[in-house]
């Protein structure tokens, strides 16, 4: 019963898997376990973390690009500006895989999930990480 | 309807699969993926308007015989940002570009006195006071044109 009630609370495009969420609209699967709220890493650590992540028995995780991350941003909401359907809703800054073209070695883009703005910043900063994987079409 | 056909025929594919720009007329870029036209005129480069005036400008715009323009949503404007470039960080199909901030139609969720913008110098996104002056690039839905045209 509880399971059914929880499923009804999810938005139309997000389906429940255990510790990840499927976004049917984009075809992307997003990490959604406690780590998302707790782990804080530098940019290079974030990339390595996603590459070694094992969630819901999948191992092909990666750091999302800036444009991919924006597919789960909902600018009509704030604190966090995150689509409905995710359980982990911490509203700090999240790394994206997109490096800053003007200074690609030193800076990369983050999205601040309180309101949803994106800015490039030094890769040595420690921010949240929400990894993504591609939904494999059979 | 005649005007519509003329406008469509002026749009020739010269770039990627996604964007096409007119060769004779340099006023409009067709974004096939999102099914919208983008304004690309001198005004797009030179404009400096507050949010209300930006909206009013798009609503009154008539370009290549086409009406019913509007400000782009945030996610529409984000589609033409090219994060592999800077100064400007925009898809190269666009001819009239400045390295400044452009308005979107999307209100800031925390206060209606601000709306979302994208800075095309780098691609930075921000919620700006609506009384601030920024640049304007209008869009138009392809649907309203092609539906008429196909009959």
Residue A72 is part of which domain span? 2-134
For the ranges A4-8, A81-85, A134-138, which has the lowest average pLDDT? A4-8
Contact A77 B84 (CB under 8 A): no
Looking at residue B92, its pLDDT comes to 96
Residue of B nearest to A104 (CA): B84
List the A93-99 sheet strands across, edge first: A93-99, A107-112, A117-122
Number of domain units in chain A: 1
Per CB-CB distance under 8 Å, the chain A contacts of B89 are 101
ipTM of the shown complex? 0.86
Looking at residue B20, its pLDDT comes to 75
Q: How confident is the model at residue A18 (pLDDT cuts 50, 70, 90)?
A: confident
Per CB-CB distance under 8 Å, the chain A contacts of B109 are 75-78, 81, 115
Looking at residue A3, its pLDDT comes to 45
Q: How many CB pairs under 8 A join A and B?
A: 47
Looking at residue B13, its pLDDT comes to 38
Of A66, A75, A101, the CB nearest to B116: A75
- The CATH class that applies to domain B2-149 reads alpha beta
pLDDT at A17 over 70: no
Q: What is the pLDDT of residues A53-89, one digit of tens each?
A: 999 889 999 999 999 999 999 999 999 999 999 999 9
Per CB-CB distance under 8 Å, the chain B contacts of A115 are 108-110, 127
Contact A101 B127 (CB under 8 A): no
Q: What is the pLDDT of residues A91-127, one digit of tens each?
A: 999 999 999 999 999 999 999 999 999 999 999 999 9
Walk along chain B (151 residues) and give the pLDDT tens digit of each residue.
344 433 443 343 334 557 876 544 569 999 999 999 999 999 999 999 999 999 999 999 999 999 999 999 999 999 999 999 999 999 999 999 999 999 999 999 999 999 999 999 999 999 999 999 999 999 999 986 544 443 3
Q: Which residue has the higher pLDDT, A48 or B13?
A: A48
Check if the beta carbon of residue A63 is closer than 8 Å to that of residue A96: yes
Check if the beta carbon of residue B65 is closer than 8 Å to that of residue B142: no
CATH number at residue A74: 3.10.100.10
Q: Is A108 on the interface with B (CB under 8 A)?
A: no
Looking at residue B1, its pLDDT comes to 39
* Count of CA atoms in the C-beta half-sphere (13 A) of B135: 21
How do the residues of chain A divide into helix, strand and coil, expressed in percent and rounded to 5?
A: 20, 30, 50
Where in A1-114 does DSSP place strands (E)? 14-16, 20-23, 28-31, 93-99, 107-112
**Domain regions of chain B by residue span:** 2-149
Looking at residue B19, its pLDDT comes to 80
- Which residue, among B89, B125, B128, would best test binding to A if mutated, counting the most A CBs under 10 Å from its CB? B125
Q: Is A121 on the interface with B (CB under 8 A)?
A: no
Instruction: List C-alpha distances in Å: B79 to A68, B4, B9.
Output: 11, 25, 24
């Amino acid at each position: 019963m509880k399971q059914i009630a929880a499923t009804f609370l999810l938005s139309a495009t997000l389906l429940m898997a255990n510790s990840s969420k499927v976004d049917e609209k984009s075809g992307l699967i997003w990490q959604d376990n406690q780590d998302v709220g707790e782990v804080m890493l530098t940019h290079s650590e974030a990339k390595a973390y996603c590459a070694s992540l094992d969630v819901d028995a999948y191992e092909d995780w990666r750091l999302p690009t800036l444009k991919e991350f924006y597919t789960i941003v909902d600018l009509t909401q704030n604190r966090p500006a995150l689509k409905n359907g995710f359980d982990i809703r911490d509203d700090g800054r999240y790394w994206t895989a997109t490096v800053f073209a003007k200074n690609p070695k030193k800076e990369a883009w983050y999205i601040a999930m309180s309101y949803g703005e994106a800015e490039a910043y030094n890769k040595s900063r420690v921010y949240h990480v929400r990894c993504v994987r591609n939904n494999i079409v059979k | 309807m005649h005007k519509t056909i003329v406008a469509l025929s002026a749009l020739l594919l010269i770039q990627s699969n996604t964007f096409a720009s007119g060769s004779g007329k340099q006023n409009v870029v067709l974004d096939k993926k999102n099914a919208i036209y983008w304004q690309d005129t001198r005004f797009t480069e030179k404009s400096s308007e507050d949010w209300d005036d930006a909206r009013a400008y798009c609503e009154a715009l008539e370009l290549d015989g086409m009406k019913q323009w509007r400000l782009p949503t945030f996610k529409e404007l984000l589609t033409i940002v090219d994060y592999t470039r800077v100064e400007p960080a925009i898809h190269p199909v666009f001819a009239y570009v400045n390295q400044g901030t452009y308005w979107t139609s999307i209100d800031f969720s925390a206060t209606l006195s601000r709306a979302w913008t994208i800075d095309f110098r780098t691609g930075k996104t921000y919620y700006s006071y609506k009384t601030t002056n920024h640049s304007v690039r209008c869009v138009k839905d392809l649907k309203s044109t092609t539906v008429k045209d196909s009959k």
